[in-house]
């Protein structure tokens, strides 16, 4: 049944390309990921995220939110999560929080909404940010959300920079060069890169960021964004597909692999500053949750369950060590006017 649906997406995209010519990479990625999150296992089946590694991750974020809310003067706020996956982070965070705000989830996949409802039954779901409450400050968390949003790529050809499009031959999808773009589309220091070089951007991420930060500027509150990425613009093709915990071809079987791309923290930060919110970090995830006290939390959990000592130590290492998720992943925080600097960003 699922294979039929995914076959249907491949057919639909193939037909669109046959009729209208190659499509933008962002259109391919948006359609593929919408299908993927709507139908397949996703988190757990194909990749593991920090909240799925250990309950400590969500609990520390709950403590982070409590501290922030407390130092902000304990206002009436809403807790918002973008792309909550299986709902694990929110459930762990809410359990650890010393207050009980209303919970709002931004989630487009009906299947994941149902999973989230098992863990956080009282949440209110939204398709996008436009329907979030606008009468109170928001405390927003987004873990591995922005990396799932569609990207565009431009590729350096012998005669200049070209937009990367997705074509289809028979039933095989493949990237091709589109029409030439003005050189100015690429930042000056990257313009003379060798043939084959790629520069990425994510207009969809910037759009979400603008909406989010405009709200923080207007309503107050804070956002915590955790993802893997770089400080761009930079050269590099970071589009990646995973299936069953292994790397796959991003253009094979759209809808049955998870597509993601590295997040450009510099661009996200700049969008936030323009909207009038303060930006903190990015700091390495290992450092961030180290400052929040993961060592103490791990020791307490191990003391309560001595048989799990090694397992907990392994989770601690996985979340914080530089060879694991500790430095690849980074945390960025945004705060509205009058909100204190969040813990972990001092
Ligand atoms: N935060 C979770 C899940 C990360 S996977 C975790 O850390 O485990 C990405 C999540 O974002 C999924 O819940 C997916 O359905 C959701 N998502 C992806 N694109 C989206 C979009 N455009 N709008 C809303 N949600 C989206």
Residues 85-143 have pLDDT tens digits of: 999 999 999 999 999 999 999 999 999 999 999 999 999 999 999 999 999 999 999 99
Please say if the pLDDT value at position 63 is more than 60.
Answer: yes
Residue 85 Cα to ligand 1 midpoint, Å, equals 5
| Residue listed under structure tokens 């997406």 | 9
Ligand 1 in reach of 144 Cβ (< 6 A): yes
Residue 150 Cα to ligand 1 midpoint, Å, equals 12
The residue-averaged pLDDT of 274-288 equals 96
Nearest one of 81, 118, 82, 76 to 100, comparing CA atoms: 76
Please say if the pLDDT value at position 21 is more than 50.
Answer: yes
pLDDT digits (tens, 9 = 90+) for 316-331: 999 999 999 999 999 9
Give the pLDDT score at 40: 79
Phi/psi at 159 (5° precision): -105, 25
Q: Of the given ranges (44-48, 53-57, 149-153, 252-256), which has the lowest mean pLDDT?
A: 44-48
CB contact set of 192 (below 8 Å; sequence gap of 6+): none
Which protein residue has the closest C-alpha to ligand 1 atom 10?
83
Give the pLDDT score at 41: 66
pLDDT digits (tens, 9 = 90+) for 145-178: 999 999 999 999 999 999 999 999 987 999 999 9
Dihedral (CA of 233, 166, 328, 35) sign: positive
Nearest one of 145, 150, 128 to 32, comparing CA atoms: 150
Give the pLDDT score at 47: 87
Ligand 1 in reach of 148 Cβ (< 6 A): yes
Please say if the pLDDT value at position 1 is more than 50.
Answer: no
Mutate to test the pocket of ligand 1, among 34, 128, 145 (most ligand atoms within 8 A of CB): 145
pLDDT digits (tens, 9 = 90+) for 179-217: 999 999 999 999 999 999 999 999 999 999 999 999 999
Ligand 1 in reach of 228 Cβ (< 6 A): no
Ligand 1 in reach of 107 Cβ (< 6 A): yes
Q: Which two tokens stand for residue 346?
A: 């001092």
Mutate to test the pocket of ligand 1, among 30, 125, 148, 227 (most ligand atoms within 8 A of CB): 148
CB contact set of 105 (below 8 Å; sequence gap of 6+): 80, 81, 84, 87, 90, 113, 116, 120, 123, 124, 125, 126
Q: Which two tokens stand for residue 176?
A: 């091709």
Residue 46 Cα to ligand 1 midpoint, Å, equals 14
Residue 112 Cα to ligand 1 midpoint, Å, equals 9
Please say if the pLDDT value at position 4 is more than 60.
Answer: no
Residue 106 Cα to ligand 1 midpoint, Å, equals 8
Ligand 1 in reach of 58 Cβ (< 6 A): no
Residue 142 Cα to ligand 1 midpoint, Å, equals 9
Residue 146 in contact with residue 263, Cβ under 8 Å?
Answer: yes
* 51, 112, 123, 152 from 118: Cα distances, Å: 16, 10, 10, 35
The whole-chain average pLDDT of the chain stands at 95
Which protein residue has the closest C-alpha to ligand 1 atom 21?
108
Give the pLDDT score at 42: 73
**pTM of the predicted model as reported, rounded to 2 decimal places:** 0.96
């Amino acid at each position: 049944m699922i294979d039929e649906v995914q076959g249907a997406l491949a057919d639909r995209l193939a037909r669109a390309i046959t009729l209208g010519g190659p499509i933008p990479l962002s259109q391919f990625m948006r359609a593929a990921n919408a299908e993927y999150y709507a139908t397949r296992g996703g988190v757990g089946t194909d990749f593991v995220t920090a909240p799925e590694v250990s309950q400590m991750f969500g609990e520390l974020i709950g403590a982070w939110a409590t501290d922030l809310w407390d130092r902000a003067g304990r206002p009436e706020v809403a807790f918002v999560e973008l792309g909550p996956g299986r709902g694990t982070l929110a459930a762990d965070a809410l359990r650890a929080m010393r207050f009980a705000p209303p919970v709002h989830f931004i989630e487009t996949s009906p299947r994941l909404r149902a999973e989230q409802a098992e863990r956080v039954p009282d949440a209110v779901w939204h398709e996008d940010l436009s329907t979030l409450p606008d009468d109170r400050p928001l405390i927003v968390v987004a873990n591995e959300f922005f990396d799932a949003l569609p990207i565009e790529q431009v590729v350096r050809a012998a005669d200049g920079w070209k937009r990367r499009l997705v074509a289809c031959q028979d039933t095989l999808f493949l990237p091709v060069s589109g029409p030439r773009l003005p050189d100015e589309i690429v930042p000056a220091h990257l313009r003379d890169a060798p043939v084959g070089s790629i520069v990425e951007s994510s207009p969809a991420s910037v759009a979400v960021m603008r909406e989010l930060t405009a709200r923080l500027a207007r309503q107050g509150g804070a956002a915590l964004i955790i993802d893997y990425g770089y400080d761009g613009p930079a050269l590099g093709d970071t589009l990646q597909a995973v299936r069953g915990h292994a790397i796959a071809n991003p253009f094979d079987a759209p809808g049955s692999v998870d597509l993601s791309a590295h997040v450009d923290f510099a661009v996200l930060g700049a969008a936030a500053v323009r909207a009038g919110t303060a930006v903190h970090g990015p700091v390495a995830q290992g450092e961030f949750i180290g400052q929040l006290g993961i060592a103490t939390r791990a020791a307490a959990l191990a003391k309560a369950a001595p048989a799990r000592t090694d397992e907990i130590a392994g989770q601690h290492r996985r979340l914080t060590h530089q060879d694991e998720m500790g430095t690849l992943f980074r945390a960025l925080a945004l705060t509205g006017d009058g909100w204190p600097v969040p813990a972990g960003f001092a």
